[in-house]
Chains A and B, each alone.
Chain A
C-alpha cells in the first residue's frame, strides 16, 4: 500500500488541491444504513424541491420528468428528505430490504 503512494516529489506544492469538488468521487453512500425511496406518484405536482434544498449531502438530482431522484452513491441516509417531504412521498427503508 505504502509503495503505491506518491513520493514527496509527486505531491503538489504544499498539498494544494487542484481538482475542485473532488470529494464527489468518494462514495459516502456506503455510510448509509437506511435508504430513501421515492414514490413519485405522491410527489407534489409542483415538485416543491424541499428534499433537494434540505439535503446536507447534495444527494438529490432532477430526472427528466422533474422528479428529485436520490444519488445513492452519496446519500448518507440521514432521513431529512423523508421527514420534510410534505406529502410523505419519501420513505426510509432498511438497506438490504
Chain B
C-alpha cells in the first residue's frame, strides 16, 4: 500500500500526471499554476516521467499541441489558470468537439483587469460551456484523485471528452497537506493504458475537423452533448471503482450536516474547509445550517443537487465569480434552474465572495446565513438578485 506524506497540492497534480504515465504534456507557465509545470519539468529531466513535455510559447499553443498529441493517441495533459485559460478559449471547444480526452488542471485565478494573480472562479465559469467534464477539488488529496480519475473518465470509450480539475489558486494550489500517495501498481491497476479509438494513422487515414454544414452541425453537437450527459454514469462508475480500490468515496455533490438543515450554504472549491468550521460554529449556536459543495460541475448533477437541498428552506449560494449585469453567480443561477421545475423548493440567494483572492472568512458565512434568515422572514426586496459580500460601500 501507498504512503502518507505531506505534499503541496500543485505537486499532487504533478504526481498524479506522473503516476498516470502521461505521454505528452504541453504547458505554459502562469501564476499560480507554475509549481505544477516546474515539477513536471523536473520529473522529465530526472527521467521519472517518460513524457514529451512541450514547453510552448503560449497557452493557446499548449492546448493546440495537446489536441495534436491526443489525436495521435497520446495520453495528454496540460495545466493553466486565469488569463491562460482565457487564451485557450477557442481551443477548449475544439478539443471537446474533436472528442479528445485531454486532462487539464485549472489553477483558478481571477481575470484582469485590474490584473490579479489571485484566485476566483471567473476563469472556469467563462469556459463553463466548452463541453469539458469539470470538477472542483477541495483538498490536495482530492486534486490527486480527481486527476487520476479524470484520465479514466475522459478516455472511456463511452465518453471521449476532455476533463478539467479545478483547484483554487494559492488557497489550495500552494497549500501543503497530509496526503495518501498510492503505489504505482495500484494506479496502474486502476488506470490502464489509453486505448484510443480513432487516431491519425497513415494506415487508416481519417479526416478530423471537417467542415460541418448547417445540415449536420446540430446533430454533431447533439451527439457531443449526449456524450457529456452520458459521462455522468461513467463518472459514478469510476468513483465506485475508485472507492473499492482506494477507500475514498466520491460524489457529485458533497453534503455536510444537511440532514435537518433549514439553511444550506452552497460553495465550490477549497473554501468548503472554512465553510465546515462555520457550519459547526453556527450549529453550536443552535442554527440549523448545513453545507453542500459542488464537486462535479459538468455534466451538471441535477438529481444529486435536488436531493441535496431537499427539505431546506433557503440555500445561500456563494459564488467566486460575478456575472456582470446578470442574475448573480453562475453556481447560483444553475441551482435555481435545477430547482425551478420542483413544486416545493427552497429560496435560493446569490452571494458573491472571494473575488480576486479576497479572503473568505468565517464572518462571511455568518453574514450570508443571517441574510438568508432575513430573506426567509421578510422576503427578498423587489430588486434583489445578488449581493456582494465584504465589499466596502
| A and B touch in their complex, CB below 8 angstroms | yes
Q: Which A residues fall within an 8 A CB radius of B?
A: 2, 5-9, 11, 13-18, 20
Binds A, one of B175-183, B209-217, B232-240: B209-217
Task: Find out whether the CB atom of A8 lies under 8 angstroms from the CB atom of B198.
Answer: no
| In the bound complex, CA of A2 to CA of B226 (Å) | 21
Binds A, one of B5-13, B132-140, B187-195, B200-208: B200-208
Task: Find out whether the CB atom of A13 lies under 8 angstroms from the CB atom of B210.
Answer: no
Contact residues in B for A5 (Cβ distance below 8 Å): 215-216, 219
| In the bound complex, CA of A18 to CA of B207 (Å) | 7
A10 to chain B, nearest CB (A): 8
Task: Find out whether the CB atom of A14 lies under 8 angstroms from the CB atom of B208.
Answer: yes
Task: Find out whether the CB atom of B219 lies under 8 angstroms from the CB atom of A7.
Answer: yes
Query: Chain B, interface size: which category?
Result: 20 to 34
Task: Find out whether the CB atom of A16 lies under 8 angstroms from the CB atom of B207.
Answer: yes
Contact residues in B for A6 (Cβ distance below 8 Å): 219
Contacting residue for B205 out of A13, A15, A20, CB 8 A: A20
A1 to chain B, nearest CB (A): 9
A92 to chain B, nearest CB (A): 31
Query: Given contacts A11-B219, A20-B206, could you give 20 more A-B pairs where the C-beta distance is less than 8 Å?
Result: A2-B215, A5-B219, A7-B219, A8-B218, A8-B219, A8-B223, A8-B226, A9-B223, A11-B216, A11-B220, A13-B197, A14-B99, A14-B223, A15-B210, A15-B212, A16-B210, A17-B206, A17-B207, A17-B210, A20-B207
**B:337-389 near A, CB below 8 Å:** none
Interface assignment of B292: CB less than 8 Å from any CB of chain A = no
| In the bound complex, CA of A3 to CA of B234 (Å) | 32
Contact residues in B for A15 (Cβ distance below 8 Å): 210, 212, 216, 220
Contact residues in A for B223 (Cβ distance below 8 Å): 8-9, 11, 13-14
Task: Find out whether the CB atom of A13 lies under 8 angstroms from the CB atom of B216.
Answer: no
Residue in B closest to A22 when the chains form the complex, CB atoms: B207
Known contacts A5-B215, A11-B216; is-contact A16 B206 (Cβ 8 Å): yes
A40 to chain B, nearest CB (A): 35
| In the bound complex, CA of A60 to CA of B206 (Å) | 25
Contact residues in A for B197 (Cβ distance below 8 Å): 13
Known contacts A8-B226, A18-B206, A20-B205; is-contact A13 B219 (Cβ 8 Å): no
Contact residues in B for A9 (Cβ distance below 8 Å): 223
A13 to chain B, nearest CB (A): 5
Contact residues in A for B207 (Cβ distance below 8 Å): 16-17, 20
A5 to chain B, nearest CB (A): 6
Interface assignment of B44: CB less than 8 Å from any CB of chain A = no
| In the bound complex, CA of A47 to CA of B207 (Å) | 35
Residue in A closest to B215 when the chains form the complex, CB atoms: A5
| In the bound complex, CA of A11 to CA of B198 (Å) | 14
Task: Please give me the 8 A-B residue pairs with the lowest Cβ-Cβ distance, nearest first.
Answer: A17-B207, A8-B219, A8-B222, A20-B205, A14-B99, A8-B223, A15-B220, A14-B98
Interface assignment of B160: CB less than 8 Å from any CB of chain A = yes
**B:38-64 near A, CB below 8 Å:** none
| In the bound complex, CA of A9 to CA of B160 (Å) | 15
Interface assignment of B224: CB less than 8 Å from any CB of chain A = yes
Contact residues in B for A11 (Cβ distance below 8 Å): 216, 219-220, 223
| In the bound complex, CA of A2 to CA of B216 (Å) | 10
| In the bound complex, CA of A18 to CA of B206 (Å) | 5
| In the bound complex, CA of A16 to CA of B215 (Å) | 16
| In the bound complex, CA of A17 to CA of B210 (Å) | 8
A21 to chain B, nearest CB (A): 8
Residue in A closest to B205 when the chains form the complex, CB atoms: A20
| In the bound complex, CA of A14 to CA of B67 (Å) | 14
Task: Find out whether the CB atom of A14 lies under 8 angstroms from the CB atom of B224.
Answer: yes
| In the bound complex, CA of A17 to CA of B211 (Å) | 11
| In the bound complex, CA of A20 to CA of B97 (Å) | 21
Which interface residue of B98, B219, B222 has the most chain A CB atoms within 10 A?
A: B219
Residue in B closest to A9 when the chains form the complex, CB atoms: B223
**B:160-189 near A, CB below 8 Å:** 160
| In the bound complex, CA of A32 to CA of B210 (Å) | 26
B131 to chain A, nearest CB (A): 11
